Chain A
Amino acid sequence: MVVDFQSVTLAYNGHIVLDGLSFAVESGTFLGIVGPNGVGKTTVLRLAAGLLRPTRGRVSVFGQDPASPRVRSRIGYLPQLPGTNDIFPVTVRDVVDMGLLGAAKSRPVDEVLQELDLRDIQDAPLAALSGGQRQLTFLARALARDPDLLLLDEPTTGLSPMAKEHFLARLKELLERRRMTVIAVYHDVEDMNPLTDRILRLTSRPSPRLRGVR
């Protein structure tokens, strides 16, 4: 198992966000997580990334604690609406370069830029990019690490329909070329990539549960 949640409960400020969630993700699987706002979709992703610790239960990634540097060096993470600080003086290439820090493996940045159709705009300042171009840049940052596990938090939220289509098509292309395990959180089921193998549908009541769709 690449990711394994065993009876995971997470309480925050006395509020139970997740209650006894169990699921496992096998190598090469694309898991989509859906559910209404506030149900804990992003929390699941942050637990898998080692950014949160469960109050009860156990989360393991590659059989280890997800907060360990060895595990983190194999993860590519795309948070929701990252890098919205527009005064930051960085170019597309600078952002992709950041992904190499702390990575166990890496891919040539030029190759990743080419793959996501960003090569022509690699020297453009981030502040000048459209929403779709930004999101592809952050995906490129995650892919530059040549990750074994890719975590995507609402990757298409806020994008125009055209940009959304472009982003999902690029993601599909690269997943067809390179097998990796993916967990993606979606706001709408319609946004889900066609490559999704399984869906984890979180509901507020009863407890979150996993459903296989294929």
Chain B
Amino acid sequence: MNIYVLIAVVSVTIAGFSQILLKKGAMRPHKSFLDDYLNAPVITGYALMFTSVLATMFAYRGVRYMTIQIIESLGYILVPVLSYIFFKERFTRNKVIGIIIILAGIAVYNI
């Protein structure tokens, strides 16, 4: 596998986990606006998000724009799977059908 493709895949995975941490932070009881951000899950989530942005920028060096777009769309599968694992968000009919249509749309747009 092309190393840049691998970096892009790892980057999407990191971005997926960053969303989980951000949501974890968002589920804490609200104390103040600043407290919404200055806590371990959110700070770690932002750090991972930043790492993912840098990794994706790096991946663009060796992979075509279209390929990155397709790889990035894996996030639309990964995030619901992680949300199910960590938050027990259910896979409802609407979610599954909607996400399949979204993925088809991204594929049609880019390929």
A binds B: no
